Amino acid sequence: MSAADSGGREPNGRPAEVLAHAEAARGFMPVDEGQALFRRASVVAVDGPFLEVGSYCGRSTCFLGAAAEVRGRLLFAVDHHRGSEENQVGWEWHEPDLVDPVLERIDTLPAFRRTIHDAGLEDTVVAVVGDSPAVAAAWATPLALLFIDGGHGVEPAHRDYEGWVPHLAFGGTLLIHDVFEDPADGGRPPYEIWRRAVDSGAFAEVDAVGSLRVLCRTGPGN
């Protein structure tokens, strides 16, 4: 993280401690992109809680949680903890030790809880265990920050976009992970929803770090 980006100071004290837990946590968030999550979440300009879609074992949750704690915000972490398509048996991102031996289904909730506990974030992070579109449909609180990193199939990604973006406050920050402009680098749906946001006219592009895209909601969109 550059000194300029962090307001002239490297994080120290609690944020640095939480970021160390984030870097050690299990999951799919590269460190430079996680640090960008922390930086952007640290400077949100509007009131309201933060919400993450797709927590897995809590790695990105800790990067965002470090900032939520500093800003005095709650971070809702939405995940059914049964894994995405690509986490299931036989797929590229399957981790066998995350399978509940009785149910023979993935269960990332125990690892997630341990991560959040160890990072000291239990007062900041609220786990919402359920299907993202169902939670979005019942949601009412305007969000200061929305991070989308849930299911990466066509339907899951577009449903997350359609379900959650209306809850982002004007002036709020939208972060989308796994956006690959070159199809050779990865799947298309996160790229497609990022394009939807840009093409809607309701967002200004703020930053790009690796596959992380950062946008600011400037209007009602379409």
* Residue numbers annotated as active site: 152
Report if residue 80 touches ligand SAH, rule: CB under 6 A.
yes
Q: Which of residues 92-121 bind ligand SAH (CB under 6 A)?
A: 108
Report if residue 15 touches ligand SAH, rule: CB under 6 A.
no
Report if residue 156 touches ligand SAH, rule: CB under 6 A.
yes
The residue within the footprint of ligand SAH, chosen from 11, 151, 172, 189 (CB under 6 A), is 151
Tell me the site size for ligand SAH, rule CB under 6 A. Answer: 22
CA distance 203 to 109: 33
The token pair at 104 is 């023979």
Instruction: Find the residue with minimal CB distance to ligand SAH.
Output: 27
Question: Residue 102, Cα to own-chain centre: how many angstroms?
Answer: 29
The β-bridge relationship of strands 50-53 and 212-217 is unpaired
**Residue span binding ligand SAH (CB under 6 A) among the ranges 9-17, 25-33, 192-200, 212-220:** 25-33
Beta bridge partners of 216: 173, 204
Report if residue 81 touches ligand SAH, rule: CB under 6 A.
yes
Return the number of the residue (52 or 69) whose C-beta is nearest Mg ion.
Answer: 52
**Of all helices (H) and strands (E), which one includes residue 164?**
helix 154-164
**Residue span binding ligand SAH (CB under 6 A) among the ranges 69-77, 81-89, 178-186, 209-217:** 81-89
Q: Which of residues 7-46 bind Mg ion (CB under 5 A)?
A: 28
Residue with token string 């299931």: 88
CA distance 121 to 159: 29
Nearest approach, Cβ of residue 109 and ligand SAH (Å): 10
HEC string for 91-116: CCCCCHHHEECCCCEECCHHHHHHHH
**Residue span binding ligand SAH (CB under 6 A) among the ranges 8-16, 82-90, 94-102, 208-216:** 82-90
Return the number of the residue (11 or 150) whose C-beta is nearest ligand SAH.
Answer: 150
Q: Which of residues 135-194 bind Mg ion (CB under 5 A)?
A: 149, 177-178
The β-bridge relationship of strands 212-217 and 203-209 is antiparallel
Residues 76/52, Cβ–Cβ less than 8 Å: yes
Closest among 213, 114, 222, 130 to 173, alpha carbons compared? 213
The residue within the footprint of ligand SAH, chosen from 15, 18, 19, 27 (CB under 6 A), is 27
CA distance 10 to 117: 24
The DSSP call for residue 49 is -
| Residues in touch with ligand SAH (CB under 6 A) | 27-29, 54-56, 59-60, 78-84, 108, 131-132, 149-151, 156
